[in-house]
Amino acid sequence: MKSLHLKSPAKVNLYLKVINKRPDGFHNIETLFERINLFDDIYFKLTNDSKIRIRCNHPHVPCGPKNLVYKVAKLLQQDLGISQGVEIRINKRIPVAAGLAGGSSNAATALIGLNKLWNLGLSQKQLVGYGQTIGSDVAFFLYDYSWALGTQRGDKIKQVKIPKVLWHVLVIPKIKLYAKDVYGHLNLKLTKRNDDVTILIHHLRKNNIFGICSLLLNDLEPSIIGLCPRLLILQKRLKSLNTQGVMISGSGPCVFCLTENQRQAKKIQTILKRQFAQVFVVRTF
């Protein structure tokens, strides 16, 4: 195998509860991941030297050592003594720094792709181990799960079997937020509630859309709104369009809503595109 093309999906978090701060500076969380059908395309090609070359169509994505895909390739080369080089081309469709984990997904896809391209024979457990050193969300994308519960840093993954396919409208305003800044402004005193993700999962399995929407949770929202108060205006706008639930995904600034079906989602997308450049209709994948 000399070349490979893989799709790299995005995610949203329907539930994100911050438990406490860890001694290593990260936070223990409990989150419900939902994989969605918004993808980047990643193309891998073996080269005749040992260099790692990253190319990307997005001007704000670094192509050097700061890129998570580059970090994955370099880590595997150094740890496993790989002398073979690779050229990796990333075609970005997932908005950057939006709370959809595009970078983490790319890193996971790179682990999967390079494991095949370089014939490394790494097990899923080994891939997850590498992923955990790269970023907290990477592990989720190393499993072929539509739904999963993430605990500890969000990197301990347990599959959740939910037959429901949800339709969403995602709106990404022209704002950049980074997880380290959002967590840095987090007030843990405001997150002590008795929310239970198992109740949300129960409503998802029963296809109770109103129960689902009443239990959406993101403990990072107060911190995100504190950093960017105008996101409140966007949330109010979405709520005014007869949507079924509105929340910020992850560390933001992506704001999403749930809809009853694809038709309603498309209708809302048409309205919002008059005001926002990046509006996506997506479903559980």
Which residue of the set 17, 40, 92, 137 is catalytic?
Answer: 137
Give 3-state DSSP helix, strand, coil % of the chain, rounded to 5.
Answer: 35, 30, 40
Query: Is the preceding omega at residue 253 within 30 degrees of 0, hence cis?
Result: yes
| 11 flagged as catalytic | yes
Q: How many CB atoms lie within 10 A of CB 31?
A: 24
Hey, is 272 helix, strand or coil? Answer: helix
Beta partners for residue 33, in sequence order? 13, 148
Q: Report CA dihedral (30, 36, 41, 43) to the nearest 10 degrees.
A: 50
40 annotated active-site: no
CA 104, CA 140: separation in Å to the nearest integer?
Answer: 9
Q: Are the C-beta atoms of residues 29 and 153 closer than 8 Å to each other?
A: yes
User: How far apart are the C-alpha atoms of 11 and 8, rounded to whole Å?
Assistant: 10
Strands (E) across 3-64 are located at: 3-21, 27-46, 52-56
CB 59, CB 187: distance < 8 Å = no
Active-site option among 11, 40, 92, 219: 11
What is the set of active-site residues?
11, 137
